[in-house]
Amino acid sequence: MAFAGCHVACLYVNSPGAPGLIGGLQWSETLASAGTTSRAMPSNPSGPYPVGNYFPSFEITVSAESWVAVGPNPDASQASGTGNAARFRIGAGETRNVWCTAGDKVAWAAA
C-alpha cells in the first residue's frame, strides 16, 4: 500500500545534533487529509527518557509538497503568520525533524 499524506512520529532524541536518530518514541499518527494531529507532545515522556537528558521533536514525512506548522494550536493554511500560524514547506517524499515543546501539535496542508 502506497503512503499518502503526512506521517508524524512524536519522540525524544538523545542529541540535538543528531535528530535523525529515533529514540523514545511516544506516538505516531498519519494524516490522510489536511488537518492537525489529535495528540500533542507529552510533558512527561513514557519510558526511560528523562526530560532533562532528551530533546522533544517531531519527525514529519510527507508524500507530496506540503505546508506544515507546529505549536499548541498550529495552522498550516495561512500564507503568512507568526507563532502557531508560521509554517514551513516540506518537499514531496522528504522527512524533517522539528524541535518542539510539551503541548505542541503538528498541522499539515498540501501545497
Mean pLDDT over 74-81 rounds to 87
- The verdict on residue 41 lying in a domain is yes
The answer for 9, left when phi > 0, alpha when psi is -120 to 50, beta otherwise, is beta
In a domain, 39, yes or no: yes
Over the stretch 4-42, which tens digit does the pLDDT of each residue have?
999 999 988 876 666 555 667 899 999 999 999 999 999
Domain count for the chain, please give it: 1
**77 within a domain of the structure (yes/no):** yes
> Are the C-beta atoms of 75 and 85 separated by less than 8 Å?
yes
Is residue 58 situated within a structural domain?
A: yes
- If pLDDT is split at 50, 70 and 90, which confidence band does 49 have? low
Domain extent at residue 81: 6-110
| Comparison of pLDDT for 22 and 98, the residue scoring more | 98
User: Which pLDDT does position 3 carry in this prediction?
Assistant: 85
Quick check: is 1 in a domain? no
| 13, 99 Cβ separation under 8 angstroms | no
The answer to whether the predicted template modeling score (pTM) of the entire model surpasses 0.75 is: yes
Q: Is position 33 within any domain?
A: yes
At which residue does the C-alpha cell 512524536 appear?
10
| Location of C-alpha cell 499518502 | 4
Distance between CA 84 and CA 64 in Å, rounded? 22
